[in-house]
Amino acid sequence: MKIIIVGAGAAGLAAAVSAAEKGADVTILERNEKAGKKIYITGKGRCNFTNAAPIDDFYQNIVTNPRFLYSAFAYFNNQDLKKFIEDAGVPTKVERGGRMFPQSDHASDITRAFTDTLKKLKVKIIYNTRVLGILCENGKVTGVRAAEEGHLSEQKEYLADAVILAAGGKSYPTTGSDGNLIPVLKDMGLDIKPCYPALVPFETKEEYIPKMQGLSLKNIEFKIFSSKKKKPIYSEFGEMLFTHFGISGPVVISASSKVAKVLEREGELKAEIDLKPALSDEKLNARLIRTVEEGENKNFSHFFDGLLPSKMIPVMVGLTEIDPEKKLNSITKQERAHILTLLKHFPLTITGTRGFNEAISTGGGLSVKEVDPKTMQLKKYPGLFACGEMLDVDALTGGYNLQSAFSMGALAGCSAAKGGKDE
C-alpha cells in the first residue's frame, strides 16, 4: 500500500507514523524546509501538545463539531500520545490546567519524537514541495500533482493508492498553512465552510485601550454581548492583556473562537470587564466608602491607588469624568455609583480580530459531512483522506487543538493503510 501524505505538521506526522506502523510505504510532501514548523511556535515555543484531562472532558473544549472526533479520540487519545512521545525519549510534564509540555520546554523535542520514529519506519519526507492538485481516475484518487517551491510551473505527478491531506488551515501562513488546497477541494465539488481566524486577539474601538498597552489583568471576568441578546454570549474568568491594537490573553483568545461568526455578522460587539469579580456590588460599595473616609482630603486622582494597577488609574479617572483634583470627601453618592459601575462593567467595543497572521487556529474548512468520521476518508472520493486543521473542527487552547490534529491524523493513517476500512 503506497500512501502520500500532504503536510508534515501535527496531523501529517501522526498519520505517517500510524500508516507506516501498519506496513504502508509512506511519503510525505512538505512545502517547508523542515517538518512541524507550526509545532515549533505553539505554546510560545514550548509546545502544549495535549491536556491531561479525561478524554470525555475534551469534547466541551472542542468549539466546532466535537462529536466528529469520537472515533479519532477512541483510536488515539491523550494518553496514547503521551506514551508515544515518552517512548520516543522525550520526558513530559503537566502544568496548570492540565496542560502537557515536553519537560525540556522545547517544542522541537515533540517534532523530533515523530521525525526520529519516521526515520526508523523508513518514511520518506520530500521538503520544499507544494501540492497543487489531486489526481483522480474513475472517481478514485490516484495521487497528487506537486512542484518544488520556486519552480511551480514544473509540476510532477506522485502516484499512490491513497492520499492523506494534512495541509493545515490558514492560520500563521508563514508556516506554510495558507489554505492553498481549499480551492482545489471546492473545484472537486466538496462543501467548504468559510474560513475565519480562531484563537486570535481582538481589535477594539476605544482610544483609552492602547494607553494601557502591556498591562496584564488577572482574576477578572470578561463578557461579550451581542446586540440581539441581553445575556452575554461569552463569559469567562481568568487573565487578559491590553495591547497597542486592543486586547489579548487567555480569556480573549478563547472568546474569539466562540464569537467569531457573530462578530463577522454584526460588525462590532460590546464587551466588559469585571475588575473585581470576587466582590459583590454591596461589598465593593462598602470598600469605596471606606476609601473616601480614609482619604477624605486626598485628590480624586489618588482614589484608585491600591485598587487598580497604576497604568489603569489615569484611564479610569478619565472615564469617571470627575475632576482629578476634587477632594474625596466631596464625592457624591451618584459619582460613587458610577465608579462602582465602571469597576464591575469596564466598557470596550470589539471591532475585529487580528486575522490569520496572528490566529492560532482556523475555523471553517472542509465540511465534516464530507468525511467518514470512522476512517477520515472522503465519502465522495475513495482513497482520499483528510485530517487536522483542514477540517471544520476547532478547539480551545490548552492542548485540545493539537490533540485533535494528532488523533485525526493517526486514525487517517491507519485507515488509509487498511484501504479505507473501519479500525
pLDDT at 152: 87
Which of the 8 DSSP states describes residue 305? B
Q: State whether CATH 3.50.50.60 applies to domain 2-196+361-417.
A: yes
Task: Give the span between the Cα atoms of 165 and 384, in whole angstroms.
Answer: 8
Residue among 166, 128, 137 at smallest CA distance from 26: 166
**For the residues of 315-369, what is the DSSP string, one character each?**
HHHHHHT--TTSBGGG--HHHHHHHHHHHHSEEEEEEEE--TTT-SEEEEEE-GG
pLDDT at 105: 97
pLDDT at 177: 73
* The three three-digit cell numbers of residue 377, written as one number: 476518508
Q: Where are the domains of the chain?
A: 2-196+361-417, 202-276+347-353, 285-346
Cα angle at 173 between 255 and 125, to 5 degrees?
Answer: 120
CATH for 285-346 (3.30.70, 1.10.8, 1.20.1630, 1.10.287) = 1.10.8
First-to-last C-alpha distance (Å) of the chain: 16
* The three three-digit cell numbers of residue 186, written as one number: 471546492
pLDDT at 422: 64
pLDDT at 151: 92
Cα angle at 412 between 146 and 385, to 5 degrees?
Answer: 45
For residue 398, report the phi and psi dihedrals to the nearest 5 degrees: 120, 10
CB 185 within 8 A of CB 195: no
pLDDT at 397: 87
**For the residues of 173-210, what is the DSSP string, one character each?**
GGGT-S-TTHHHHHHTT--EEEEEEES-PEEE--TTSG
**474548512: which residue's cell?**
365
Cα angle at 363 between 359 and 365, to 5 degrees?
Answer: 125
Q: Which regions of the chain are under pLDDT 50?
A: none
pLDDT at 228: 86
**Side chain identity at residue 143, one-letter code:** G
Which of the 8 DSSP states describes residue 31? S
Number of other CB atoms surrounding residue 104 within 10 Å:
15
pLDDT at 120: 98
